[in-house]
Structure formats: structure tokens, C-alpha cells
Amino acid sequence: MRWDPGHRSSDVIDRRGQSPSGGGGGGGSGLLFHLIFMLLRSRFGWIGAILLVIGYVFVLPRLNTSNSHGGAHAVGQHAAPTGPGDEQAAFIGFVLDDVQDTWQKLSPIQGHKYRRAKLVLFTGATDTACGLGQSATGPFYCSRDEHAYIDLAFYDALTRKLGAPGDFAQAYVIAHEIGHHVQNILGTSGKVHRASRGERDGDGGLSVRLELQADCYAGVWAHGTRQRQLLEAGDIEEALTAAAAIGDDTLQKHATGRVRPETFSHGTSAQRVTWFKKGLERGDPSVCDTFSARAL
């Protein structure tokens, strides 16, 4: 992929080498402001918000003292541009900005204006507004703080263990996570999370459809990179290989030798490739309606 090696993104938060605060809930002041906002909108109003602030200022510090781990420290919430020579992080920042610029140009989407997400680079574990985020989970998106999270060790595993190397394979992963951010803005993910477990689970469930739509949204972005001649030979193949490598059926075969469709959460390799291609071919988010599709 053609990109600017000198690029620095203000939407990247670098927490690599930092430890989580140890509180388990994560989110820090960002979560506090979110809770205050929710209380102000609820029947508890100002009284609830004031009590929350009192608890945060006077009670929580004492609780945190008893729960603190040796060497742990609070995680910063401000964007930290990557340093010179950090090529992989610089590439991630370039892709993140390009993906978000694409969605801003497509905005409004279904009447919703795009707002930019942050992407957090971390090592091992980190605090999020959705709880403690761990590298074992793989890249993920938290709707409560509108941050995507990734431990760069995942890319090593993607290359060495899953056989999906290449910079555009990495770009596909970022575009998929920002696809979840788009779903959050549109309210799609909220509807899925509020659905019953029976509606969400399984190979045709809402969770799989949510993930496949994020793959399609990644393809919508990739369509734009092709139009702007940012692609190099083999880039699309790298993305397709990555999509196939992280299909539920493929991962289950590698792990246990057995495929269990009733436990699927992201879709098969073939489905992930198919929906990425749909977005790639059309460059139109409207073709990504996995929820109305009879066959995935």
C-alpha cells in the first residue's frame, strides 16, 4: 500500500509499555464524564451526578490504593503521536486517518454524521470503558469510549501463525474495527447487543451479521483506496487472505479440528471474504445490509 512514512495521527493513543490501572473497570475520567452525562439524562438528574462526583473524588482513591499493583500507574487519555522510526505505528496512524477521512466524506450515512474514533496501541492489557482489555482478545472496539484497541503482537500472530502477512492485511483489520465504530454511530451495534441471546448466537445470528457487515464496511474503504491508486500489487489478496484466516470455521479447525457452527461469532472464512468483496466492488455502504440478507 502506498502511504506517507512521515504521517502522524492525532487519533492514535500510544499506551505501549504501560500497565492498566488495576481497577478492572477501566475508562478513567472519560468513563466518569460518560456516567455523569447518563445520570443527567436520567430521573436521578443533578443529585445523582453530584453524588457520583463525590464518590469519585473522595471514596474511589482510597479503594484504588488498596487494590493497586506494584509498578502500575494510571493510563493517559491523550493522543500521543508515534515517535520517529516507529514505522508500524506510523502506518497504522496513516490507515486510521485514511479510513476515517473516507467515512467523513461518505457522511451523512443514513442521516448520521460521522465522528472520529480513537485507536489505542497497548501491550498486554489496558483499561477501557468496557472493562479490562487484553491482547488475547485480539483487536476490538469499545462503544462506550468509541476507541479501537490493538496490541501490535496480533500482527505477528496474523503473519506467523495464521499465514496472513502484508501491510494491507493489517489495514483490513483496522478498517474492520472502524466499521464497528460506524455501526455504533448508526445504532446498529446497540440493537444487536440488546437482542436476546438466541437472536445473537449461531452461524446465522445477529452477532455474525454484525461482524460481516464490518467486513463489508472495510471493503467500502478499500474501494476508495483503489480509486485513489493507493493499492500496490497483491494488496487486495493480502486482505482476502487475512479475512479467510480469521473465519470461525478456520480458527476452530486449527484449534480443535472440529467446526461448531452454533458457536460462531464472526462468520466463516468464505463469508468474511464474500462480504469484504461486496464493499470493495461497490464502495457503497448500502450494499452491506447483512441483516436483510437471507443467505450470508
- Residue 12 forms part of a structural domain: no
Residues 128 and 38 in one domain: no
Residue 50's pLDDT is 53
pLDDT band at 45 (very low <50, low <70, confident <90, very high): low
- Residue 296 forms part of a structural domain: no
Residue from 86, 75, 273 nearest 164 by CA: 273
Residue 85's pLDDT is 52
Residues 216 and 102 in one domain: yes
Edge-to-edge order in the sheet of strand 12-14: 12-14, 118-121, 147-150, 140-142
Residues 120 and 30 in one domain: no
- Residue 7 forms part of a structural domain: no
Residues 53 and 90 in one domain: no
Taking only Cα atoms into account, the Rg of the chain, rounded to an integer number of angstroms, comes to 20
Residues 237 and 269 in one domain: yes
- Residue 294 forms part of a structural domain: no
Residue 21's pLDDT is 83
- For the stretch 76-111, pLDDT in tens is 334 444 444 589 999 999 999 999 999 999 999 999
Instruction: Determine the structural domain holding residue 207 and report its residue range.
Output: 77-288
**Which 3 state secondary structure label does DSSP give 168?**
helix
Handedness of CA 193, 195, 198, 200 (dihedral sign): negative
Residues 34 and 105 in one domain: no
Q: Is the pLDDT of residue 239 over 90?
A: yes
Residues 43 and 121 in one domain: no
- Residue 189 forms part of a structural domain: yes
- For the stretch 170-195, pLDDT in tens is 999 999 999 999 999 999 999 999 99
Average pLDDT, integer, range 240-263: 94
- For the stretch 194-219, pLDDT in tens is 999 999 999 999 999 999 999 999 99
> How far is the C-alpha of 3 from the C-alpha of 94, rounded, in Å?
7
Is residue 27 packed enough to be buried (19+ CB in 10 Å), middle (13-18) or exposed (0-12)?
buried
% of the chain exceeding 90 in pLDDT: 76
Residues 229 and 164 in one domain: yes
> How far is the C-alpha of 244 from the C-alpha of 162, rounded, in Å?
10
Residues 275 and 128 in one domain: yes
pLDDT band at 47 (very low <50, low <70, confident <90, very high): low
> How far is the C-alpha of 1 from the C-alpha of 170, rounded, in Å?
11
- Residue 9 forms part of a structural domain: no
Q: How many residues does the chain have?
A: 296
Residue bearing the bigger pLDDT, 286 or 254: 286
What mean pLDDT, rounded, does the chain reach?
84
**Which 3 state secondary structure label does DSSP give 193?**
helix
The structural domain count of the chain equals 2
Taking the model in full, what pTM does it have?
A: 0.80
- Residue 93 forms part of a structural domain: yes
Residue 28's pLDDT is 38
Residues 127 and 28 in one domain: no
* Helices and strands, counts by H and E, the chain: 12, 6
Residues 110 and 135 in one domain: yes
